[in-house]
Chains A and B, each alone.
Chain A
Amino acid sequence: MVNPIYIIILSLAAGFLLSIFDKSGRKLSLIVFYSVLTFNVFVIADWFYRFTVLGVSTLTINTAGFSAPLSINLQLGIQEAFVLLFANLTGLLAAIYLIKKFKESNISSLVLYLILIMGVNGLVMTRDLFNMFVFLEILSISTFALTILTKNKKSLSAGFKYMIAGGVASTFFLLGVVFVYYFTGNLNLDFINPSDFTNYGLIAIFLLSIAVFIELKPFPANGWALDVYESVNSGITSVIAVVNSAAIIFVFYKIMPLLPQNLLNIFGIAGVVTFFFSNLMGLKQTNAKRLLGYSSIGQMGLLVASIIYTIHSPNKLIYLIVGGFFTNHLIAKAGLFWITGIVKKEKIKDWGILKENKFLLILFGLLLFALSGIPPFPGFWAKWEFIKLLVHGKMFFVVGGILLGSLFEIVFLFRWFTIAVKGEVPSENPKISFEFSKYFSTTIFVGITLTISVVIMKYFYDFNWFQFLPLIAVVVLYFLDFIPSKIKGFLSLIAVGIYGYFLYPFESNLQLFFGIIFIVGSAINIIATLNRKNINKGFYGFLLMMIFSFGNLLIAKSYLEFFLAWEFMTISSFVLILRGKKAQKASLLYIIFSTAGAYLMMIGFSLAPNLTSNSALIIAISNINLPILVTVLLAIGFMIKSGSLGVHIWLPEAHAEAESDVSPFISAILLKAGVFGLFMVGISYINHVPAFDMFYWIGWIGVLTAIVGAFLASFQEDAKRLLAYSSMSQVGYIVASIAILSHLGWLSALYLSFNHMMFKSALFIAIAGVYYRTHTRTMYEMGGLIKKMPLSFISVLIGIIAVSGVPPLSGFGAKWLIYSSFIERGWYLQAGVLFFASAVSFLYLYRLIHTIFLGQLKYEHQNVKEAPIWFLIPQVIFMVGIMAISMYPNLIIQPLNSIVGNYFNSSIIVDGYNITSSLGNWNGNMIMFVTMGIFVVPLIILVLLNGRTQTVKQFNIVYAAERPESPQTTHIAYNMFAHYRKALGGWGKPRIWNFWHETNEWAHSLSGLFRQIYTGNGQTYILHIILYIVVIYFIMGV
């Protein structure tokens, strides 16, 4: 147990002595330097341990032999210890990071560094206002001196601006101190009575607090800080952004009890405004360090807001929210600044260099994910609880500002990430040099943030190992990554099997049904991935993560568990999509839309009443009366995931650009997660029907999705985009059927979900096989492949018949159920539109099969072989499945009837294979046999009568007095439905795409507009600060 005052004393003493030590060599001074820093960390760590684990009470240290307020006193409690531990640790790691610099530079930099750390320690511990001022000055001066260590013009000017801004702030602080003393006769925080600051007294507290607030870099008075972040050495920047910020935010926290509520409210709003605008302006930023600067400033605003808004909450919650934001932001920020120093690329477009260095890329990714508030990182939990708190306080504007700001942050951070993974390696300096010290610090911080994440999950939320499973999958497979891909594939298959076994006893059959789609469907689709060669680093880890998250969705017992699984699903699918060759834009679009949806869901879940039973969410929610706003928010969130019209634009990109064996997962299974969610909303809705019939409108959206999707699919040239739009259209049918909220409607939705899972998997895998052989997805470049890939052809044939709804295959059952349910419900026009959509679907289905498999074979495909066996196996399984439920529809109708029977009274009579609704009947088995009969009889007659048939070669066709020249000019494939497009006229314009494009443009333009306030001129910056203070003063309305 070392008295914490020694931290200050030792730093100070060593600081002054260092220049003497340096006389006997830099080695000695470095040893002393690092020993002091390490000593600090250990002392504080020891205290932190005492406070948290042993429960030691807060320590007060008096100085100069007198007790406060006569002398200055220091205080070390759990909060101080936490902040100091953090600051000192960062200080130490940053120093290690800078070791090379410290070896070379003047001894004064070491001295300054120690003084800076001393200032931080003092600032956090002291309870005396004037003493605070002193430490603030020490901090500013040492920081300034360190910034100009990097001797270039930019950093000199940035340092100067920093100095001036700091000086202005200090002046106000000092004035505040004077006034505080004048009004209260005291400068010790423990003895100042906040009620003394009435009337004119407010000026004292205003000056004091605004000075500290300016140091926290509020928008727009923060240009000086941005310039520093951009131009100073990364190691020093990390200290400024993290260590200094931590100390100053704690100062703010210390003087908060003195502030009147209205001033706190203003600061809270100012924090949110800062967060929002910083992230907005980050959108246009291309300089890596300045981007981090924007993010950093934004996060500080969020931190301030979180401190202010959580002030009346229970301690545990404050620790989670404020502590979560604090550690998350500062660790991630320090780590990312360090990485910028390792990568040494100013422009983020050059960051493609990272993909050459997998380890660094992983560090970068983890820190970036942490910064974006993605689970399991602390920021996620903090955001979840914070939003919940704000929503309960009905502070919707604050919620909106924070979430919109977060979305902007996601945009620029993930854009950066996708560049790092997919961008081009720059031609200049294409290598990242290795420096152990730099990697060391960064790695330690990544380790710490991961540890904190696990601690939160394990001890705060008490999650069981099932919820950890998606993460465990990634970690385990990371260590197994050296194994060949095939073996990993088999292992994954086994893992999914075991997972399914543990998951199996479900509480309800609806879960079981989705369990089959999610788990069994995924397992079959994994077979197609076994075709992969080589190692495929990271693929199976994220694949398993996604599959396990699907399963966890089913058994989630609380909103948080559900949301956690949802986020895991999103992030894993994002990484999988990003693996595609040209998936940079597609994956970015996907994560932006998914995150927007997730935020809406977050608000929705926060508003939802507490669960009353301990069952899985999908069951428990039936007793919950969700307010209409919640229903709307959740529904939008789920509909984004299922690609409904208006928010569908991510869908074709993501499906098409993902690797071809990933697309079946995205289309056939991932979209069903949205469907599952909509069912969940529906289950609550039918038990508590509100006045506003929201599902009526969802029904219309579903119907329009179906028709628009079908048209868009018809106009594609890319096979995978075609299938993607087809998925959109089919899921539109499902959404519309759910919205009917009747027995027959839900039966249709479930039937179609299952059917869609099978035929869309089969189709995507078939196209994967074609792509594997022909290396193209553009349909008009193919043709005539039926002769080369007959099995794939049959698979596509069965697939398209099942999609189209032509009897006798299972698709007809879906169509019959859907139209019956719509007419029964009285949704006549909707049914008409669906008929239309169904007819339009023939266009794209024919186009798919014709342009690839029929028509003229291209010369370059003369030697194409059938798809590999790994692609054929799952296709055969799905084909057998489709044929089975076509022939024996009872196999699926009976169980579905009983599942939906839990929610509605059954409206169909199942008699043998005959299914009768209130409108008509359908006997799938009989249709199958009649069809077989009427097909086989003419076939036999034809074969018997037409024995003379001879097969001719390609091009041996009746051609109008001309000789067909080449397959390219003979194969009708390109722009096949040009006349239809012409007929549609203005209806064919991509309005929704344009809308989102414009939104994007506007956001970036606004970003560019606001950015212009940062002129780079120090005088302007000071003007900002002064104006800011004046404006806040007026808003306060003293």
Chain B
Amino acid sequence: MDIMIKILYAVISVIVATVYGLTLGGVVQKIYARVHGRFGPPVWQPFIDIIKTHGKRVSISHGIMFYLGPVFRFAGGLGTYLFIPVIYGSVVFANFSMAGDLLLVMYFIFFGQLGMALGAGEGGHPYSPLGIARGLSQMSTFELPFSLAVIAVAIQYDSLNITTIVAAQQGSILNWTLFTNPFAVIAAMISLLGMNMHSPFSLVLAPQEIPIGPPVEMNSSFLAILQTNRGLFTAAKLVLFMNLFFGGATNLLIMIVKTFFIYLVSVIVGAAFPRFRPEQSFRFFLKWPTIIGIISIIFIVYF
């Protein structure tokens, strides 16, 4: 019975996060449009897109792995989200965070990416592996500063347990990692730019070069799943960053506010900069954010 309640809570948690994530996506599209001087789609456009793509008459598959790719991707989003305690002190939003710690979340992010990459690979379209090769390469580079920041956080709180990390930041705004170890936060936030794949790091989907990259062959329900996941996964990443660096959230409203502003960083940068070439992006991550990440560790160990 216990487990059933747990699952029920998880379902609620996931639905909330997905709806929030998709809405956030709509808001961001709107913001971009206004920056570009367009009117922009309505905020609920992502929901419409999902329903529309799902309603397509034709659905095409290229094989079993292709079929499973979006499932892997969505499971990756779900898992990433479900292994994070979303709201500090909340039972409903604790999810399955007792199964593992921060390392689990970091590695579960790869689960969806790898599965999707395999599915897209079987699609047989040349743009898919091109996008994936770019994505994997870029991922490896922003993972370096991010992991340095995570290590700094682990040193600081002497724990990899996300709940413990959030607990340690409670009390005052000055307890946030943002203020106790700003270098780690800077390094991680730059990595987040890469993770969110907004400009200048939008190498993977790059519409003008490799028209939307990996999901190019995805259609109908497959695409719908990916679109749903995009909302959930974005929410999951933002919640993770909020927990690690911005004091977590004690209720849903605080979570929404904090994650919105975290996302806004990517959006502002994305609206302001043109796209990098792949090697420029890789070099960028291996240079400045990495150095800042190393500084963050030195800072936390010696100061």
Residues of chain A having any CB pair with chain B under 8 Å: 784, 786-787, 793, 797, 801, 804-807, 812, 815-816, 819-820, 823, 828-829, 831-832, 835-836, 839-840, 842-843, 845-846, 849-850, 854-856, 918-923, 926-927, 930-931, 933-935, 938-939, 942, 945-946, 948-952, 954-960, 964, 970-973, 976-977, 979-980, 982-983
Contact A946–B216 (Cβ < 8 Å):
no
Contact of B75 among A797, A931, A959, A972 (CB under 8 A): A931
Residue of A nearest to B11 (CB): A937
* B153-175 vs A, Cβ < 8 Å mask (1 yes, 0 no): 01100111100000000000000
Interchain nearest-CB distance for B20 vs A (Å): 19
Interchain nearest-CB distance for A891 vs B (Å): 18
Contact A823–B151 (Cβ < 8 Å):
yes
Q: Which residues of A contact B217 (CB under 8 A)?
A: 957-958
Contact A955–B124 (Cβ < 8 Å):
yes
Contact A948–B96 (Cβ < 8 Å):
no
Q: Which residues of B contact A933 (CB under 8 A)?
A: 7
| Ranked 7 nearest A-B pairs via Cβ | A920-B101, A854-B121, A835-B147, A920-B160, A983-B279, A983-B282, A839-B140
Q: List 17 A-B contacts (CB under 8 A).
A: A828-B151, A832-B144, A832-B294, A839-B140, A842-B136, A842-B139, A850-B132, A855-B121, A918-B158, A919-B101, A921-B100, A930-B82, A939-B68, A949-B59, A949-B67, A960-B211, A971-B126
Q: Which residues of B contact A850 (CB under 8 A)?
A: 117-118, 121, 129, 132
B109-130 contacts to A (CB < 8 Å): 110-111, 113-114, 117-118, 121-126, 128-130
User: What is the bound-complex CA distance between A939 and B129, given in angstroms?
Assistant: 24
Given A807-B104, A923-B100, A938-B71, A786:B143 Cβ within 8 A: no
Query: Is B8 engaged at the interface, CB distance under 8 Å to the other chain?
Result: no
Q: Which residues of B contact A946 (CB under 8 A)?
A: 59, 220-222
Contact of A920 among B54, B58, B161, B222 (CB under 8 A): B161
User: What is the bound-complex CA distance between A938 and B71, given in angstroms?
Assistant: 6
Q: Which residues of A contact B141 (CB under 8 A)?
A: 839, 983
User: What is the bound-complex CA distance between A850 and B65, given in angstroms?
Assistant: 11
User: What is the bound-complex CA distance between A484 and B74, given in angstroms?
Assistant: 52
Contact B133–A972 (Cβ < 8 Å):
yes
Contact A957–B123 (Cβ < 8 Å):
yes
- B interface residues, tally (CB under 8 Å): 85
User: What is the bound-complex CA distance between A402 and B141, given in angstroms?
Assistant: 48
Contact A846–B114 (Cβ < 8 Å):
yes
User: What is the bound-complex CA distance between A352 and B99, given in angstroms?
Assistant: 62
Query: Is B27 engaged at the interface, CB distance under 8 Å to the other chain?
Result: no
Contact B103–A977 (Cβ < 8 Å):
no
Residue of B nearest to A919 (CB): B160
User: What is the bound-complex CA distance between A980 and B160, given in angstroms?
Assistant: 31
Query: Is B247 engaged at the interface, CB distance under 8 Å to the other chain?
Result: no
Q: Which residues of B contact A831 (CB under 8 A)?
A: 147, 151
Q: Which residues of A contact B124 (CB under 8 A)?
A: 784, 854-856, 954-955, 957, 970-971
**A797-B118, A949-B61 given. 6 additional CB < 8 A pairs?**
A836-B140, A919-B159, A952-B60, A972-B128, A979-B278, A983-B137
Contact of A983 among B7, B62, B161, B283 (CB under 8 A): B283
Residue of A nearest to B203 (CB): A979
Query: Is B268 engaged at the interface, CB distance under 8 Å to the other chain?
Result: no
Q: Which residues of A contact B99 (CB under 8 A)?
A: 922-923, 926-927, 930
User: What is the bound-complex CA distance between A829 and B68, given in angstroms?
Assistant: 37
Interchain nearest-CB distance for B78 vs A (Å): 4
Query: Is B70 engaged at the interface, CB distance under 8 Å to the other chain?
Result: yes
Residue of A nearest to B117 (CB): A846
Query: Is B98 engaged at the interface, CB distance under 8 Å to the other chain?
Result: yes
Contact A828–B155 (Cβ < 8 Å):
yes
Residue of A nearest to B14 (CB): A934
Q: Which residues of B contact A948 (CB under 8 A)?
A: 57-59
Contact A807–B151 (Cβ < 8 Å):
no
Q: Which residues of A contact B60 (CB under 8 A)?
A: 949-952, 956
Query: Is B206 engaged at the interface, CB distance under 8 Å to the other chain?
Result: no
Q: Which residues of A contact B277 (CB under 8 A)?
A: 979
Given A828-B155, A843-B137, A934:B79 Cβ within 8 A: yes
Contact of B286 among A797, A951, A983 (CB under 8 A): A983
Interchain nearest-CB distance for A268 vs B (Å): 54
Q: Which residues of B contact A955 (CB under 8 A)?
A: 124
Contact A816–B129 (Cβ < 8 Å):
no
Q: Which residues of A contact B176 (CB under 8 A)?
A: none
Contact B143–A839 (Cβ < 8 Å):
yes
Contact A920–B151 (Cβ < 8 Å):
no
Query: Is B148 engaged at the interface, CB distance under 8 Å to the other chain?
Result: yes
Query: Is B21 engaged at the interface, CB distance under 8 Å to the other chain?
Result: no
Contact A807–B160 (Cβ < 8 Å):
no
Query: Is B37 engaged at the interface, CB distance under 8 Å to the other chain?
Result: no
Query: Is B248 engaged at the interface, CB distance under 8 Å to the other chain?
Result: no
- Most chain A CB within 10 A, of B133, B225, B282, is at B133
Q: Which residues of B contact A973 (CB under 8 A)?
A: 129
Contact B70–A942 (Cβ < 8 Å):
yes
Interchain nearest-CB distance for A11 vs B (Å): 79
Interchain nearest-CB distance for A488 vs B (Å): 39
Q: Which residues of A contact B68 (CB under 8 A)?
A: 939
Contact A922–B121 (Cβ < 8 Å):
no
User: What is the bound-complex CA distance between A976 and B211, given in angstroms?
Assistant: 18
Given A842-B136, A972-B126, A976-B129, A934:B75 Cβ within 8 A: yes
Q: Which residues of B contact A956 (CB under 8 A)?
A: 60
Query: Is B233 engaged at the interface, CB distance under 8 Å to the other chain?
Result: no
Contact of A942 among B71, B159, B216 (CB under 8 A): B71
Contact B221–A939 (Cβ < 8 Å):
no
Given A815-B107, A957-B125, A976:B154 Cβ within 8 A: no
Q: Which residues of A contact B7 (CB under 8 A)?
A: 933
Contact B107–A934 (Cβ < 8 Å):
no
Contact B111–A807 (Cβ < 8 Å):
yes
Q: Which residues of A contact B59 (CB under 8 A)?
A: 946, 948-950
Contact of A839 among B104, B126, B139, B154 (CB under 8 A): B139
Given A951-B62, A970-B124, A919:B161 Cβ within 8 A: yes
Contact A836–B144 (Cβ < 8 Å):
yes
Contact of A979 among B65, B221, B282 (CB under 8 A): B282
Interchain nearest-CB distance for B12 vs A (Å): 15
Contact A855–B140 (Cβ < 8 Å):
no
Q: Which residues of B contact A977 (CB under 8 A)?
A: 133, 137
Residue of A nearest to B149 (CB): A832
Query: Is B4 engaged at the interface, CB distance under 8 Å to the other chain?
Result: no
Interchain nearest-CB distance for B294 vs A (Å): 7
Query: Is B102 engaged at the interface, CB distance under 8 Å to the other chain?
Result: yes
User: What is the bound-complex CA distance between A920 and B99, given in angstroms?
Assistant: 10
Q: Which residues of B contact A926 (CB under 8 A)?
A: 96, 98-99
Query: Is B241 engaged at the interface, CB distance under 8 Å to the other chain?
Result: no
Q: Which residues of A contact B85 (CB under 8 A)?
A: none
User: What is the bound-complex CA distance between A992 and B259, given in angstroms?
Assistant: 47
Q: Which residues of B contact A815 (CB under 8 A)?
A: 103, 107
Interchain nearest-CB distance for B77 vs A (Å): 9
Residue of B nearest to A933 (CB): B7
Query: Is B31 engaged at the interface, CB distance under 8 Å to the other chain?
Result: no
Contact A922–B104 (Cβ < 8 Å):
yes
Q: Which residues of B contact A854 (CB under 8 A)?
A: 65, 118, 121-122, 124, 129
Query: Is B293 engaged at the interface, CB distance under 8 Å to the other chain?
Result: yes
Q: Which residues of A contact B130 (CB under 8 A)?
A: 972
Interchain nearest-CB distance for A847 vs B (Å): 8
Interchain nearest-CB distance for A406 vs B (Å): 43
* B280-296 vs A, Cβ < 8 Å mask (1 yes, 0 no): 10110010000001100
Contact B121–A842 (Cβ < 8 Å):
no
Contact A849–B70 (Cβ < 8 Å):
no
Contact A807–B107 (Cβ < 8 Å):
yes
Interchain nearest-CB distance for A349 vs B (Å): 43
User: What is the bound-complex CA distance between A922 and B126, given in angstroms?
Assistant: 39
Given A950-B60, A983-B279, A927:B100 Cβ within 8 A: yes
Interchain nearest-CB distance for B235 vs A (Å): 15
User: What is the bound-complex CA distance between A976 and B132, given in angstroms?
Assistant: 10
User: What is the bound-complex CA distance between A48 and B117, given in angstroms?
Assistant: 77
Residue of A nearest to B294 (CB): A829
